[in-house]
Amino acid sequence: MKVDQGGAGCDTSPRMDWDAFFTVHRDLPREGPGLADDVAWAGRLSAVPRHGKVCDAGCGPGGDLAALRQLVPEGQVDGVETVAHFVEAATKRFAGDPSVRIIEADMKNLIGPYDLIWSAGAVYFLGVTRALNAWRGALTGTGAVAFSHPCLFTDSPSEAALAFWEAEPGSIGTESTTRAEIASAGWQVLAARQLTDDAWSVYYDPMLARCDKLEAAGASDAVASAIAAARMEAASWRIVAGETGYMLYVVRPC
């Protein structure tokens, strides 16, 4: 799950022990599901120029920045993130690339202009309509937004599928719900597709390996609780993967 960039079953309540949470989530390659192929697909659909400028809104530790960099080999990539240690991790990760800039800022206040705004699992923190309204002015005249968003794949989800997202802000709807929100903001959907099981595995597998490492070293009660929550999240997703997950949308203002 992502703290500032979305999430999968993330407990964002005031009861969360954030020190323990970030102990589990430190040094992970990414903070949510996704593959480099997802970025490439969105780049092709939005026709990002090689010399263009793109933004990862809620970039976390920078898991998608290398793939975004491939879209604009002669351009610029900005990663925008509010969580300080994610900013630090992303900055360190791309310290040798002057074409990648990491900015500690709120993603709702993007400046641009960008040819593509990419946001993996973060939009629901703002809400689809609010995010698209905020980012409209940060795009070039032909710019687009690509974002992954929680989705129910059935009109009759099980209690387990609903419970998977119950700690998240806002409500989780079907694809038709999200498409209606996109349309109400005055945007059109260029294409959409479901994130694959592989996209989830590249998030959960390193997280579970991190849990193993922490347990082997001896974890405090708080960290042990955070580890248990992480393991439960991964196990729960495997149960409900056919009913819920993320859809990836590429959208442009009408």
Contacts of 245 (CB under 8 A, 6+ apart): 33, 150, 151, 153, 194, 195, 200, 237
Q: Which CATH number fits domain 18-253: 3.40.50.1100, 3.40.630.10, 1.10.10.10, 3.40.50.150?
A: 3.40.50.150
Q: What is the pLDDT of residues 144-153, one digit of tens each?
A: 999 999 999 9
Contact 183, 250 (CB under 8 A): no
Q: What is the pLDDT of residues 154-193, one digit of tens each?
A: 999 999 999 998 876 567 899 999 999 999 999 999 999 9
- CA dist 196 and 126 (Å) reads 24
Query: Any idea where the domains of the chain sit in the sequence?
Result: 18-253
The answer, yes or no, to whether the previous bond of 113 is cis (omega within 30 of 0) is yes
- Check whether 3 has a pLDDT greater than 80: no
Q: What is the pLDDT of residues 69-111, one digit of tens each?
A: 999 999 999 999 999 989 999 999 999 899 999 999 999 999 9
* pLDDT the model gives residue 30: 92
